[in-house]
Structure 1
Amino acid sequence: MSRQMWSLLAFILCIGVLESLALLDHETESIEKCIKNYGGLTSETAERLERFKEWSDGYEEIPCFTQCYLAEMFEFYDNRTGFDESGVAQLFGQPVYNACRQRLELGGGRTQSSCEHAYAGFHCITNLEGHPFMQIESMPNITESAKTAMKDCLQLVDRDEWSRFQAYPEFPVNEPIPCFTRCFISKLHLFDERTRRWQLPIMRRHLGVPVPGAHVSACHQRRGRNQCSSIYQQFTCYVMAA
């Protein structure tokens, strides 16, 4: 999903005091239209929208808001036909659509979308967006074994730390989740901690890095505060090498 599109959704659905922000005219009009029957844009409705991701799966706190909002703002949803797979996949990623498929598709004899269908589908999407498992599934050029290794290593981490996974593409100096890289590297047998040698051909097969011809001769010399940090620093070097 694009940063711009997620920013839009977070802007409208996941902020604290909506009325204090300078929304675009169309956005403001759409929100007002969709909540006008429930008191309009007040501090109470703003607080409810802020908690959108926390709403119960089976209970939309502002009835029919989601269907109205989607139909007003996005092309991937239609009040009659429901969610368009290609449109949802383009914005949020195919793995997210696949994970929410049961709620996004019209099933059970339904021939037309409804408020309940719109809410169930979009609520599923917003709760998966940013989930590290979905990010892993969306990674290009890595094997299923690599994806499984990463997921297994995340399961060993306190869930409060999962939000830090989103920082990895920025290649920070300090690893966002300590020892996560060492964990999945070990599971894939990409580094021999006894000889301190990297298995680059195997790494290319599983992860697609380093790219052929990249200048990586100095990567193995990088050192961190401990073994986990050193492996993270060296692996980051291989990933970024050109």
Structure 2
Amino acid sequence: MKSFTLLLIVAVAAAAVSQVSAQWLPLLADVTPYPPITLQTSAKFQVRTHDDAAKAFEDCREDNYVPDDIYEKFLNYEFPAHRRTSCFVKCFVEKMGLFSESRGFDEKAMIKQFTVKTPKDLDTVQHGLEKCIDHNEAESDVCTFANRVFSCWLPINRHVVRKVLADLAGEAKILENCLKKVSSPERIVSDLQKLERYPEWTSEEVPCLMRCLASEKGWFDIVKNKWQGKRLTDDIGADVYNYCRFELMRKSRDGCSFAYRGLRCLKQAELHAGTSLSTLLHCARTLNATNVELLQYNQLKTEEPIPCLFQCFADAMGFYDTAGNWRLLNWQQAFGPSRMENQTQEQPLDYSECRRSDKERKEATSKCSWMYEEYKCWERLNGNDFGEESRETS
């Protein structure tokens, strides 16, 4: 799967508000494709915390006699079909101040609750509301009404809900348990000091700690030495997972190193993946691109399916300096680790051959044209040489 193409596929899913949507994360400081949006929210609504959610869960459980096995799923914001689910959901969103029997869902409260701390999640929250909110025109009973809307909106925003209502005490407990497993009473103080410098690590300074943390969160299977893709997508969003997909598939016999590299990549993705996706969506809307046209990039066609889409994206992401030279770091931050990267190789991939000469650029039909050619070269060097041109020459 190609880097720009996979972004496009996620973009199509986001535009259509599919069941696994993308997480919208902080934009790069120098890329601002959208103007700031001021939300008009009800002054009466108070943003709820994890403790509020926990109390709502307990109260609604008592009111609805939910079995233990089903309740465990509810606690993870998964609401399977069950005779108790609809009224439990209605009870929960009501106690969280998001729904009332007389007015239905309060869209402004939903936006405030799930974007007040993470405003870059506004797009996905709004997309879900646009798709799912109704005013019970079907005249369903109130439990069915509440569950229908929330169960439509939640799969698109489950990672946002989990993030906003995160159990910080639970996260601290996971860290405490893992330190007990991988450290010792003699090393615990120095290991904690090392952990404080985590952003500066160039290798894992507390061996196997990251594997334990990823395992405790349900993201990494230690026995199979494998990342759990579906759980990661649910928890952190499709765009973050896709950004690191090659790194998470690049297995190593050393499971601790494998898990450490994966978590480092996911942290990087938090900074850059949402920027790439939101910028691409902005360009697609500007050029009135259709979903069918977007998906044609999967074929690496000779001619760009949507003229100048890549130029719009590249300009916004700062892929070129004023002299037309590549800012390679910006390319790498936009697309994430490539298929061909090798953790043991001494020399990184050489992209110099992809830059067209000044003469070739001048002779090209347009700036959009030579930019698209350079993008296709990027894909080929990253092992994605199976598009239209490859089929013609095979």
| Superposition TM-score tier, normalisation by shorter sequence | 0.3 to 0.5
TM-score (structure 2 length as normaliser): 0.32
Q: Which of structures 1 and 2 has the larger relative contact order (alpha carbons within 8 angstroms, sep 6+)?
A: 2
Q: Under a length normalisation based on structure 1, what TM-score does the superposition of the two structures give?
A: 0.47
Specify the structure having the higher radius of gyration (Cα): 2
